[in-house]
Amino acid sequence: MHLPKRSVLIPVLLGLGALLFFSGGLNDLQAQGKKFIQKGEAFPEIALKTPSQAKDRTYLGISGGDPFKIKDLKAEVILVEIFDVYCLPCQKQAPLYRQLFGLIQSNPAARDQIKMVGIAVGNDESEIKKFQDHFPFRFGFVIPFGYIRSTNK
């Protein structure tokens, strides 16, 4: 299979869909005339906060300063995981993503060509740190810049 340069692959998450559906998010998006990303479309130009942890910045190849965008990452393929630390399906998928990350990092040809980034929707840095401690991820986690989180946790 041949992937075009600077591809961004977006895993579809049942947890995110359920979260949006039950929170009324899907209806809100449709009412605003928003559409979902379709196959072959570029990832939206959303601003992301630079991770506070040096290991995440080093892995993602960003030096610092807010905001940055997915297109700023130095890789041919970027796997984007959109999650919430309280999402049970996201927690169940954690070992699979950790295993995938390990496979990519163990292949010298893939290591610098493929990057994984987790976009934490509705979480702050302390919640992400606890999640990373419990599910020892080694790839970068970021928060959408200017995101107002819900207090319904």
- Which tens digit of pLDDT belongs to each residue from 104-126? 999 999 988 999 998 888 888 88
Residue 148 Cα to chain centre, angstroms: 17
Does residue 133 form part of some domain?
A: yes
Q: State the average pLDDT over residues 61-74.
A: 83
pLDDT score of 21: 41
Q: Rounded to an integer, what distance in angstroms lies between the CA atom of residue 141 and that of residue 32? A: 28
pLDDT score of 107: 94
Whole domain around residue 14: which residue ranges? 7-29+59-142
Q: Rounded to an integer, what distance in angstroms lies between the CA atom of residue 57 and that of residue 64? A: 7
pLDDT tens digits, 70-100: 888 888 898 888 888 898 888 888 889 889 9
Instruction: Assign 138 to helix, strand or coil.
Output: coil
Q: Look-up: residue for tokens 């980034």?
A: 117
Q: State the average pLDDT over residues 121-133.
A: 85
Nearest residue to 138 (alpha-carbon basis) of 87, 103, 90, 88: 103
pLDDT score of 30: 54
Does residue 126 form part of some domain?
A: yes
Does residue 52 form part of some domain?
A: no
Q: Look-up: residue for tokens 């959408």?
A: 144
Does residue 47 form part of some domain?
A: no
In the chain, the percentage of residues whose pLDDT exceeds 90 is: 9
Does residue 79 form part of some domain?
A: yes
Does residue 100 form part of some domain?
A: yes
pLDDT score of 32: 60
Q: Rounded to an integer, what distance in angstroms lies between the CA atom of residue 149 and that of residue 69? A: 20
Q: Which of 17-21, 22-26, 107-111, 136-140 has the highest mean pLDDT?
A: 107-111
pLDDT score of 15: 39
- Domain of 74, CATH number, reads 3.40.30.10
Instruction: Assign 111 to helix, strand or coil.
Output: helix
Indicate the length of the chain as a whole number.
153
Q: Rounded to an integer, what distance in angstroms lies between the CA atom of residue 43 and that of residue 90? A: 20
| Domains in the chain, number | 1
∠ CA 108-109-113, nearest 5°, is 110
Q: What share of the chain is helix, strand, coil (3-state, %, to 5)?
A: 40, 15, 45
pLDDT score of 12: 35
Q: State the average pLDDT over residues 29-36.
A: 61
DSSP 66: S
Please check whether residue 63 is in contact with residue 57, taking contact to mean a CB–CB distance below 8 angstroms: yes
Q: Which of 15-29, 105-119, 120-134 has the highest mean pLDDT?
A: 105-119
Does residue 45 form part of some domain?
A: no
Does residue 84 form part of some domain?
A: yes
pTM over 0.85: no
